[in-house]
């Protein structure tokens, strides 16, 4: 894989889990990584762990104006942006009949509005360096699973936006792809992991026979960011060990 020195990478939801692992993977390849998240203390702890090649911007990407502010700060601080990883996400499990308007709106603002707004604000800067966008989707975006209608449909929107924007931004030299994790061992999946019956069912239906690790997803993101993937765009690739194929 190419050395990513002088490249600047922005990762939303970069303080923990998949985002943190992805930040670490990019730094090991020489990139400068900017992470965002809502919790200042978590971001500060993560940047201390990641070292001097990391920089944190606290903010809620689901709020109007925040994507623009974050992109502006990245450019003001580093003068360029090469890779955007839309990793921040939220969701809930339960029947739609018990899902409130507030939950549906929160899911769509974080999972759909934020990536679209960030890509819009980043386009001019990514075009200067023939950059890449990697959206984090989910295997539920195409698989059938009860109790996740709001979340899974939001990720299906991410998948289709990935394809649409690949066509729209390709003439500018920007590639847009998505990585769709299966169940991954992070804090956000604590409820599923604590349910032994559900956990066992998911693992039994995963051909690779285990939970995903954050580094598994980080490695897939790195593949799409590499210039050797320069002829790949508009793809939504599962990184879930075969679950819900």
Query: Which positions are catalytic?
Result: 151
Name the CA radius of gyration of the chain, rounded: 17
Q: Are 8 and 78 spatial neighbours (Cβ–Cβ below 8 Å)?
A: yes
Residues paired with residue 55 on neighbouring β-strands, in sequence order: 34
Residue with tokens 């679950």: 243
Q: How many CB atoms lie within 10 A of CB 79?
A: 9
Return the C-alpha torsion angle 228, 231, 236, 241, nearest 10.
Answer: -40
Determine contact, residues 38/66, Cβ cutoff 8 Å: no
């Amino acid at each position: 894989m190419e050395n990513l020195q002088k490249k600047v990478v922005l990762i939303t939801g970069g303080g923990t889990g998949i985002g943190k692992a992805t930040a670490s993977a990019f730094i090991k390849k020489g990139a400068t990584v900017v992470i965002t998240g809502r919790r200042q203390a978590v971001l500060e702890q993560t940047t201390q762990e990641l070292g001097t090649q990391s920089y944190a911007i606290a903010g809620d990407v689901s709020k109007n104006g925040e994507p623009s502010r974050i992109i502006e700060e990245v450019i003001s601080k580093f003068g360029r942006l090469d890779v955007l990883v839309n990793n921040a996400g939220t969701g809930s499990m339960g029947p739609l009949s018990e899902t409130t308007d507030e939950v549906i709106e929160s899911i769509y603002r974080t999972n759909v509005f934020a990536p679209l707004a960030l890509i819009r604000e980043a386009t001019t800067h990514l075009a200067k360096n023939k950059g890449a966008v990697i959206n984090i989707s989910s295997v539920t975006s195409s698989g059938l699973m009860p109790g996740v209608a709001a979340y899974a449909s939001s990720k299906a929107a991410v998948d289709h936006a990935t394809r649409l924007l690949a066509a729209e931004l390709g003439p500018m030299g920007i590639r847009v792809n998505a990585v769709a994790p299966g169940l991954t061992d992070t804090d956000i999946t604590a409820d599923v992991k604590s349910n032994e019956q559900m956990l066992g069912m998911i693992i039994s239906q995963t051909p690779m026979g285990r939970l995903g690790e954050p580094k598994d997803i980080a490695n897939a993101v790195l593949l799409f960011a590499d210039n050797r993937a320069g002829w790949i765009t508009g793809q939504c690739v599962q990184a879930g060990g075969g679950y819900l194929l």
